[in-house]
Amino acid sequence: MDSSYLTKIASMDGIGQISAQFYLASASSGCCSIPVQIIGFDPETDFTISPWIKKSYQEGLQDLEIVVGNDLNAFVGDTLTFYGTTVHVAAKLDKTGTSLDTAVYTNENTIKTLIQSSLDKKLNNFGDIDPDRVISCILINVAEGYTVEDVLNDINLHVRKVEAIQTKNMISGISGSLQGVSDMIGGLTLAIWLLALVILAIAFTVSVQGRKKEFAVLRVTGASRRKLSGIVMLEGILISLCGSLIGIVIGAVAILPFGRLIETQLGLPFLLPGATWIAAVACISLIASTIAGSLACAVAGWRISRLDTGLILREGN
Q: Is 260 helix (H, G, I), strand (E, B) or coil?
A: helix
Count CA atoms within 13 Å of residue 152 on its CB side.
Answer: 10
How many alpha carbons lie under 13 Å from residue 305 in its C-beta half-sphere?
16
Cα of first residue to Cα of last residue in the chain, in angstroms, is 95
Classified as helix, coil or strand, 108 is helix
Q: Determine the Cα–Cα distance for residues 165 and 129; give it in Å rounded to an integer.
A: 24
Q: Tell me the pLDDT of the chain (317 aa) as tens digits.
A: 888 899 899 999 999 999 999 888 765 544 555 668 888 888 888 888 888 777 777 777 889 999 888 888 888 888 888 888 889 998 888 877 677 788 889 988 898 888 888 888 777 776 666 777 888 899 999 999 888 888 989 999 988 888 888 876 655 566 666 777 788 888 998 898 888 888 888 888 787 777 777 777 777 777 777 787 788 788 888 888 898 899 889 988 888 777 767 766 766 666 677 788 888 988 998 898 888 888 878 877 777 766 666 666 666 54
DSSP letters, 180-236, are HHHHHHHHHHHHHHHHHHHHHHHHHHHHHHTTHHHHHHHHHTT--HHHHHHHHHHHH
- Nearest 5°: CA angle at 171, between 142 and 22? 65
Q: Are strands 137-142 and 79-82 parallel, antiparallel or unpaired?
A: unpaired
Torsion from C-alpha of 272, 278, 282, 284, nearest 10 degrees: -110
Q: What is the pTM of this model?
A: 0.55
Q: Say how far apart CA 161 and CA 165 lie, in whole Å.
A: 13
